[in-house]
Amino acid sequence: MASNCGDMTIPELKKELEKFGAKKSGRKWELVERLEAYRRNAHCAKTDVYGPEFMMMTPDPQLYKDLHGDKTFPGCTEAEISTFLSKFNKTTDKKGRDMYNDGFIQYVRVTFHDSNWFVRSSVKASMMKSVKYVVDIMIGKDRSVIESQCECAAGMGPDAHCKHVCAVLFSCADFVKHGTYKTELTCTQRLQTFHRAKPHKGSPMKARQLDMPGCDEVCNNDYDPRPVEFRGNPGYQSYFRNVCLNYPGISKTPIFQLYEPVNMKAYNLDHDYLKDTFSENHLKLLNVSEISEENARQVMIKTATQAANDLWFEERCKRLHSSVFGRICKATDRTDKVKLADFLTTKAQKINAKPILHGRKYEKRSCKEVPGNFGTHSLR
């Protein structure tokens, strides 16, 4: 058996095709394609019940002409395709439609013979792109599908209804509807990708496989930059955070001031799997965006002394209170919203240093309060 089918003569090709029970008619290139398809798919054949695979009678291949816009061809409709598939208890084949839309059809040729239209096409296999199947379909004058066959293992004629046959039928229906059909894109029609980097299909190399001196000694150890006496110490993290990071007694400034401040906008928009953002969760923890009736009642009780209570000043910085709410209501299009927001937030401490409550003035918190009635207040 020759290794290359193209080097074989026509008698040798027909002799090899006869072993598979395949058709022996056609030009040499058709015989070569048919024999290559049979050899690649020989493992799919059932040798115990193997018989003649193609029972459909087709005209001479030289009578077929390429299907194009100037060709008169009645084709078939999607309704006729559904009627044909319903004979085998099968609905419209999605795989065949996807195969047609993805350009698996290489060509479509038609001819009119014995009062019927014959369609011949070549369809690429879905899993092995180098494998091609020849599909033959007989269509009547009334656009009904009479017979069909395919070279694939599931396309025995004359009632083949595999996905390759369905793809060719969809091309005929598309030609009737639009006057054209989709075929495989040529090399000049595809978007060139020679300038793109090739994807790496291998798995990452293990560290122990790297050709590095002393790699075997350190590949099984976790790198730890801490001194040896502090490695594996369960309390070291708390010690560093409380004593070294935040405590200013070791040096003039705490260690955390040596680091660049975090980008809060990027931190807030960082990818995570939380329901809310970090800022939203922070506001909820502070009882700013959401507060229950019980928490509001507790804050009202704890801040009853108002200016004499540190919590009262803290809560005023979190919320909009009645003394400044009027500025929001009176804001217009000419109001500088940035300055207004700055007034309500960053300057709240300065305003709260001398609060005005019920028409009575109080001195700074470092001084004694002016005696008077604090009155009642509500959390806003």
Do 31 and 74 share a structural domain?
A: no
Residue 235 domain flag: no
Residue 240 domain flag: no
Residue 74 domain flag: yes
End residue of a domain, out of 131, 154, 178: 178
Quick: pLDDT tens for 133-173. 899 999 998 889 999 988 887 777 788 888 999 999 999 99
pLDDT band at residue 208 under the 50/70/90 scheme: low
Do 158 and 100 share a structural domain?
A: yes
Closest by alpha carbon to 55, among 172, 147, 142?
Answer: 147
Q: Distance (Å, rounded) from C-alpha 169 to C-alpha 85?
A: 11
Chain mean position to CA 232: 42
Quick: pLDDT tens for 53-96. 456 788 888 899 898 877 888 888 888 888 888 888 887 778 88
Enclosing H/E stretch for 15: helix 10-20
Query: What is the arithmetic mean of pLDDT over 25-43?
Result: 78
Which residue type is seen at 98?
Answer: D
Do 68 and 173 share a structural domain?
A: yes
First-to-final CA distance of the chain: 93
Residue 167 domain flag: yes
Pairwise pLDDT comparison (195 vs 369), residue with the higher score: 195
Do 23 and 71 share a structural domain?
A: no
* Res. 254: pLDDT tops 90: no
Residue 332 domain flag: yes
Q: Distance (Å, rounded) from C-alpha 129 to C-alpha 331?
A: 69
SS3 state at 138: strand
Domain that holds residue 330: 293-361
End residue of a domain, out of 128, 145, 178: 178
Do 17 and 116 share a structural domain?
A: no
* Res. 120: pLDDT tops 90: yes
Query: What is the arithmetic mean of pLDDT over 108-132?
Result: 87
Structural domains in the chain (count): 3
Which residue type is seen at 354?
Answer: K
Do 69 and 22 share a structural domain?
A: no
Query: What is the arithmetic mean of pLDDT over 250-264?
Result: 69
Residue 250 domain flag: no
Quick: pLDDT tens for 291-309. 889 988 998 898 888 878 8
Do 72 and 43 share a structural domain?
A: no
* Res. 352: pLDDT tops 70: no
pLDDT value for 110: 92
Do 79 and 35 share a structural domain?
A: no
Query: What is the arithmetic mean of pLDDT over 281-290?
Result: 85
Q: Distance (Å, rounded) from C-alpha 173 to C-alpha 177?
A: 6
Do 78 and 152 share a structural domain?
A: yes
Residue with tokens 């010690």: 239
Residue 113 domain flag: yes
Do 120 and 76 share a structural domain?
A: yes
Q: Is 320 exposed, middle or buried (0-12, 13-18, 19+ CB in 10 A)?
A: middle
Residue 374 domain flag: no
Angle formed at CA 70 by CA 65 and CA 73, multiple of 5 degrees: 65
| 144 contacts 138 by C-beta, under 8 angstroms | no
Do 11 and 82 share a structural domain?
A: no
Do 118 and 13 share a structural domain?
A: no
